[in-house]
Amino acid sequence: MAIKIPASFFKADEVLFIGYSRKNLAYCTAVREAFESRGTRVFPVNPNQGSFDVKVFAGMDEVPARPELAYVLTSKARNEGLPAKLAARGVKRVLFNSKLSADAALLAECERLGMRTAVACPLMSLGKGMHRFHGWLSGVERTDAAR
């Protein structure tokens, strides 16, 4: 049986989006727009600067806010040291996109630093159609705006 992820986990005024990428631009845009449609201000972060349709920060230190939620799309190999950086920025909840983004050790490090964690695509709660169906199968609760 899947572990329930409450809709409240996805609710935030601001979110750090770690790994906003040109390679997966359509997906990144869909996630960003899903958060924004609920009034969440999104701060995309990618050190590999280039041409994006929105402002993308080269690092978390450039972000002019201290979001309580971070969404992490990067791979485990790129996430070494990330929990400490997120905790230092005041992040309280970390949403990892998949098991490719986080393993048990990374999740435990986040928890040790006082951050709640979940592993799920945010579109399972914020999206529609097949995303929502996948969320239902996975135990992800819908946000109020997605009902």
Say if residue 7 is exposed, middle or buried (CB neighbours under 10 Å; 0-12, 13-18, 19+). middle
**DSSP reduced 3-state for 131:** helix
Query: pLDDT tens digits for 109-127?
Result: 999 999 999 888 786 666 5
Does 70 or 133 have the greater pLDDT score? 70
Of the pLDDT bands very low, low, confident and very high (cuts 50, 70, 90), residue 6 is confident
CB 43 within 8 A of CB 70: no
Euclidean distance between CA atoms 73 and 108, whole angstroms: 18
CATH superfamily for 7-141 is NAD(P)-binding Rossmann-like Domain (3.40.50.720)
How much is the pLDDT for 127? 55
Which residues neighbour 107 within 8 Å (Cβ) at sequence distance 6 or greater?
A: 96, 117, 119
What are the residue boundaries of the structural domains of the chain, listed by start? Answer: 7-141
Of the pLDDT bands very low, low, confident and very high (cuts 50, 70, 90), residue 128 is low
Is the pLDDT reported for residue 45 higher than 70? yes
Nearest CA-CA partner of 140 in 2, 3, 1, 5: 5
How much is the pLDDT for 2? 46
- Strands 69-72 and 14-18 turn out to be parallel
CB 90 within 8 A of CB 69: no
pLDDT above 70 as % of the chain: 80
Q: Which of 44-58, 103-117, 118-132 has the highest mean pLDDT?
A: 103-117
DSSP string, 96-122: ESSTTT--HHHHHHHHHTT-EEEES-T
